Chain A
Amino acid sequence: MEAVFAILVGLFFAAGIYLMLSRHIIRILLGVVLFGNAVNLLIFTNGRIIREVPPIIAEGLDVPAGAVVNPLPQALILTAIVISFCFFCFLLVLAYRAYQEIGTDDTDSMRVAEPVDDGLPPMGY
């Protein structure tokens, strides 16, 4: 099971990075989503993958009786999902706003903050 997940995570990473190499903001954002979910799956796989055994310690014992899934990585993912979802929403709005203001989503022509023809500082008095 872990091997399948490892391959899946690799595919997610590959697709995410491929999309992020694009010049268009919207593809970059889709790449960011895939990238973020690849990480979530990666951490999920870290915590061992077993079906239908809740990590509950029976009464009278101090440790679980059999092998159970480590719940901590799932708690970590929960945090990471919330954070990356917020960021994605923010970035979507920001990208749309940038499209409205600058009129393009091509990163090559987004040169308002760093104009191409900025010129050099004065060379003398």
Chain B
Amino acid sequence: MAVQGEIVDKAAAMVAGPIASVDWLVIAPVVLPIIGGAVLLLIRHSIRWHAVLALVVLVVMVGANGLLLQRVLATGPVSMTMGSWLPPFGISFTADVLGAAFSLTASLVAFVCCAYSLRDIDATGRRYGFYPFLMLMMAGVSGAFLTGDMFNLYVWFEVFLISSFGLLILGSDKAQIDGATKYAILNLVGTTLFLIATGYLYGTFGTLNMADLATRAGQIGTAAPLMTLATLYLLAFGMKAAAFPLNFWLPASYHTPPVITGALFGGLLTKVGIYALLRTLVMIFAAERLVLAGLIGWVAVATMLIGALGALAQSDIRRIAGFLVISGVGIMLAGIALGSNGGLSGAIFYALHSMLALSALYLLGGLMRQRGGSFSLHSLSGLYGASPFLAALAFIISLAVAGLPPGSGLWPKVMLVRASLDSGAWQIAAAILVSGFLATVALGRVLILAFWREAPGDKASSDKTAAAGPMSAPGCSALVVLVAAMLAMGVLPEPFIRLSTAAASGLLDASAYIQAVFPAGSGS
């Protein structure tokens, strides 16, 4: 903001030269799905093209995200400010290792889910716009991961939220309407809290650029209500992430839509909340996070245990998955509570793992439904005999979600337990281990009842429920891709640990991020 009476050099406010074409990579993951969604809306009557076009866009998105991550790893954070303005006057998009890694994993999960949906979403679902909604949701999610501006982050939250409403009620089942009502109202309250915090933030700092905020938060002095801001952000993003006392919208809604929507939501949406918490509490309000650390720690413990206990009490596999999503949110919150490099890299690694693993768990539920005719543990049985292939996938997914080797959940938990013992937070270490044990029991029960239990003898195999049938080939191959990625993460964790450590260091020491937005190092 220009100070009164100073002479302002206009050249300092605008970009003079043309923008290098490689810089466009920063916004490509957002622009691609928006264009894709718009085109899909234009051709909304030609539904046979929808899935193909969505798949193509998502493949290009994965490629763009991959290139972006490679560039960020090689040269540090990249930034681009809209409308040729210089920051902080324009809206900046800034990709660092954290944002690029999350964005890449999210687009990969979306691609896999889209492949799964080829058989799962029927003509009615396509006509009502499943694929345009999917595209716009991905635009919102990528935008949230890559933006460098707080208000813009709010806008992307709203973009993926409204698209998720569309996906959630697609089909207009009674249970869907019920779940969507709770999901929509509570999430709207959550984003409104986010907007309140952002209003105060602008009033306090006079800037919304994250790099600018990170620079100024340390210099603004004790008179500014930074503690209030940090607490409001914790409340708002805690609600979006489904942390314990604010989590009730998630188990009410995630099991109601088609399983593919559950997979997308369970994999991606809560992680956006976690990402926003990392960005605000760790990078911008570092000193305030230290004060809140005790509170966040106990919230994390409660979230982990409530999630795992909830999973134990369910008999519908989608509801088990919903509660395991919550348990995973607790584990990531634990890393934010610890705040050390080890804890944060554990949380980031866990977030990458859980995007894959929880989507895989929902998709597994879908395939079990296709093969066994039900989601309920009361009626599923004999799946091992029916499909050993599905049983093997289910076994690996269960290991990964519960955090047992060789699944991908082991290493982030090891990092987090070590980090919490290093900082003397025994209750966090204990909660991670206990919730892992409870998740093992819950998923072990799925394996025993649905796969190992013999199909009831009195009703011979001819008496399968009408819904049971062969599994869809795209569904199986989608799940195989996810399981392969999870196994790679579990067996060769080194590159992922390096990646998460780099992302955590980039948050703890934001100088490279700030340098990318303000190359002169001048702030504003």
In the complex, are the beta carbons of A121 and B314 less than 8 A apart? Answer: yes
In the complex, are the beta carbons of B178 and A32 less than 8 A apart? Answer: no
In the complex, are the beta carbons of A35 and B178 less than 8 A apart? Answer: no
Which of B189, B255, B313 has the most chain A CB atoms inside 10 A of its CB?
A: B189
Chain B residues near A62 (CB, 8 Å)?
2, 6-8, 10
Interface string of A33-59 (1 = CB under 8 A from B): 001100100110010000000000000
CA distance A111 to B377 in the complex (A): 21
From B6, B181, B195, A63 is in contact (CB under 8 Å) with B6
Verify if A1 is at the interface (C-beta below 8 Å from B): no
CA distance A39 to B193 in the complex (A): 9
In the complex, are the beta carbons of A110 and B202 less than 8 A apart? Answer: no
CA distance A84 to B253 in the complex (A): 21
In the complex, are the beta carbons of B155 and A97 less than 8 A apart? Answer: no
In the complex, are the beta carbons of B162 and A87 less than 8 A apart? Answer: yes
Verify if B252 is at the interface (C-beta below 8 Å from A): yes
Within 8 A of A (CB), among B233-291: 251-253, 255-256
How many Å from the CB of B157 to the closest CB on chain A? 10
CA distance A112 to B178 in the complex (A): 6
Within 8 A of A (CB), among B155-199: 155, 158, 162, 165, 169, 172, 174-182, 184-185, 188-189, 192, 195-196, 199
Within 8 A of B (CB), among A96-120: 97-98, 101-102, 107, 110-114, 118-120
In the complex, are the beta carbons of B179 and A113 less than 8 A apart? Answer: yes
* CB-nearest residue of chain A to B194: A39
Verify if B93 is at the interface (C-beta below 8 Å from A): no
Chain A residues near B177 (CB, 8 Å)?
94, 97-98, 101-102, 112
Chain B residues near A8 (CB, 8 Å)?
none
Chain B residues near A120 (CB, 8 Å)?
313, 315
Interface size class of A (residues with CB under 8 A): 35 or more
How many Å from the CB of B129 to the closest CB on chain A? 14
How many Å from the CB of A34 to the closest CB on chain B? 11
CA distance A87 to B203 in the complex (A): 25
How many Å from the CB of B305 to the closest CB on chain A? 18
Asked, given contacts A39-B196, A113-B255, A122-B449, whether A90 binds B184 with beta carbons under 8 Å apart, the answer is yes
In the complex, are the beta carbons of B377 and A121 less than 8 A apart? Answer: yes
Asked, given contacts A46-B199, A94-B169, A120-B315, whether A112 binds B2 with beta carbons under 8 Å apart, the answer is no
How many Å from the CB of A27 to the closest CB on chain B? 11
Interface string of B438-472 (1 = CB under 8 A from A): 00000001001100010000000000000000000
In the complex, are the beta carbons of B2 and A63 less than 8 A apart? Answer: yes
CA distance A32 to B193 in the complex (A): 11
Verify if B522 is at the interface (C-beta below 8 Å from A): no
CA distance A101 to B176 in the complex (A): 10
How many Å from the CB of B442 to the closest CB on chain A? 9
How many Å from the CB of B187 to the closest CB on chain A? 9
* CB-nearest residue of chain B to A13: B196
Chain A residues near B21 (CB, 8 Å)?
none
CA distance A114 to B318 in the complex (A): 12
In the complex, are the beta carbons of B181 and A110 less than 8 A apart? Answer: yes
In the complex, are the beta carbons of A46 and B196 less than 8 A apart? Answer: no
Interface size class of B (residues with CB under 8 A): 35 or more
How many Å from the CB of A86 to the closest CB on chain B? 7
Chain A residues near B181 (CB, 8 Å)?
25, 94-95, 98, 110
Verify if A11 is at the interface (C-beta below 8 Å from B): no
Verify if B221 is at the interface (C-beta below 8 Å from A): no
From A32, A36, A111, B185 is in contact (CB under 8 Å) with A32
* CB-nearest residue of chain A to B449: A122
Within 8 A of A (CB), among B307-343: 313-315
Which of A25, A42, A83, A120 has the most chain B CB atoms inside 10 A of its CB?
A: A83
Verify if A20 is at the interface (C-beta below 8 Å from B): yes
In the complex, are the beta carbons of A46 and B6 less than 8 A apart? Answer: no
Asked, given contacts A113-B252, A122-B315, A125-B453, whether A63 binds B8 with beta carbons under 8 Å apart, the answer is yes
* CB-nearest residue of chain A to B376: A121
From A73, A76, A112, A119, B174 is in contact (CB under 8 Å) with A112
From B5, B162, B189, A90 is in contact (CB under 8 Å) with B162
Chain B residues near A84 (CB, 8 Å)?
188, 192
How many Å from the CB of A124 to the closest CB on chain B? 9
Interface string of A1-43 (1 = CB under 8 A from B): 0000000000000000000100001001100100110010011
Chain A residues near B10 (CB, 8 Å)?
62
In the complex, are the beta carbons of B195 and A80 less than 8 A apart? Answer: yes
From B162, B189, B199, B378, A42 is in contact (CB under 8 Å) with B199
In the complex, are the beta carbons of B165 and A102 less than 8 A apart? Answer: no
Verify if B151 is at the interface (C-beta below 8 Å from A): yes
CA distance A20 to B5 in the complex (A): 47
In the complex, are the beta carbons of A35 and B314 less than 8 A apart? Answer: no
Chain B residues near A122 (CB, 8 Å)?
315, 377-378, 449
* CB-nearest residue of chain B to A73: B202
Verify if B4 is at the interface (C-beta below 8 Å from A): yes
In the complex, are the beta carbons of A114 and B251 less than 8 A apart? Answer: yes
From B185, B199, B202, B448, A28 is in contact (CB under 8 Å) with B185
Asked, given contacts A114-B251, A121-B377, whether A97 binds B172 with beta carbons under 8 Å apart, the answer is yes
CA distance A28 to B3 in the complex (A): 43
Asked, given contacts A121-B315, A125-B453, whether A46 binds B253 with beta carbons under 8 Å apart, the answer is no
Beyond known contacts A62-B10, A63-B8, A79-B151: 15 more, CB 8 A cutoff: A25-B185, A32-B192, A35-B189, A42-B196, A43-B202, A46-B200, A84-B188, A87-B158, A87-B162, A90-B184, A112-B175, A112-B178, A113-B178, A113-B253, A119-B315
- Going nearest first, the 6 A-B pairs with the smallest beta carbon separation are A121-B315, A46-B203, A43-B199, A113-B179, A112-B178, A62-B8
